[in-house]
Amino acid sequence: MNVQTRHPYEGLLHKYTNAMKGWQYRWFILSPETAGAVIAPSDEDSNTFTVNSATGDMIKLRATDARARQEWVDKLRAVTEMYTRAIASSHPPLPPREHSGNSSRTPVVKLEVLDAFANCQEQLRKVEKHNLALAQSIENSDLHLDSDLLVLKAMAHTTLHTLSQCLNILYQ
C-alpha cells in the first residue's frame, strides 16, 4: 500500500442529486477499505467526475476546481487499484476452459497462447511506464491545470487500467 492510500482523504464535493434538486454540497471521506469502482473525469467541464461503484451505483461529483478534481480522481483510483489487486491476489486465475465438449480430458494451454499473454503483459508494462512519464510531465509543466491536459492524463490512465483488467479477464 502506498502513502497515497494509507490514510483517509476527505473534503467537500458537489453531488448531483437529480434535475429538480441539482447539485448539493456533501462531505466525502475516501477510506482505504473502500470497495472497487471506476472513476471517470467528465468531458462537460474540468471539475466534474463520476464514480461507478462495483454495486452498480453511479455518482456524479464536482470539485471546486480542476486541481481538486485531479486529487480526488488520483486518490480514488489509487484506492480502487489497491482493492482490485487485493481481490486478484486472493483469487487465483481459473483453469483454462476447454471448448471441444470433451470434459474428461485435461485442458491444455498452447504455448502460443501463453506467449501471447506474456507479450501483452510486457506491452502493458511498457505503456504503464510511458503513462507515468506523461502524468509526471503534465504535473511538472506550467500547464498542469489545463483542462485538456487533465482530461488527457485521466483518459490515458483509465484506458490503461481498462486494458489491464480486460487482459486479466481473458487470462482467467
Where is pLDDT greater, at 108 or 130? Answer: 130
Q: Are residues 63 and 135 in the same domain?
A: no
Q: Are residues 82 and 145 in the same domain?
A: no
Q: How many CA atoms lie within 13 A of 144 on its CB side?
A: 14
Among 48-62, 97-111, 123-137, where is mean pLDDT lowest? 97-111
Q: Are residues 83 and 112 in the same domain?
A: no
43 burial class (0-12, 13-18, 19+ CB within 10 angstroms)? Answer: exposed
Grade residue 147 by pLDDT with cuts at 50, 70 and 90. confident
Q: Are residues 133 and 170 in the same domain?
A: yes
Q: Are residues 82 and 144 in the same domain?
A: no
Give, rounded to a whole angstrom, the gap between the first and last alpha carbons of the chain: 25
Q: Are residues 37 and 83 in the same domain?
A: yes
3-class secondary-structure state, position 38: strand
pLDDT tens, position by position, 72-94: 998 888 887 777 777 666 666 65
pLDDT tens, position by position, 18-44: 878 889 989 888 876 656 677 888 888
Kindly state the helix (H) or strand (E) to which residue 60 belongs, with its residue range: strand 58-62
Domain closes at, from 33, 65, 92: 92
Q: Is residue 100 part of a domain?
A: no
pLDDT tens, position by position, 125-136: 888 888 888 888
| Residue 117: pLDDT over 80 | no
Q: Are residues 60 and 126 in the same domain?
A: no
CB 36 within 8 A of CB 84: yes
Single pTM value for the model: 0.50
Q: Is residue 98 part of a domain?
A: no
Spatial CA neighbour of 77 closest among 148, 25, 2, 140: 2
Q: Are residues 21 and 82 in the same domain?
A: yes
Domain closes at, from 38, 58, 92: 92
Residue 77 lies in domain: 1-92
Q: Are residues 68 and 114 in the same domain?
A: no
Q: Are residues 70 and 11 in the same domain?
A: yes
Mean pLDDT, rounded, of the chain: 78
Spatial distance between the Cα atoms of 118 and 112, rounded to a whole number of angstroms: 10
User: How many structural domains does the chain have?
Assistant: 2
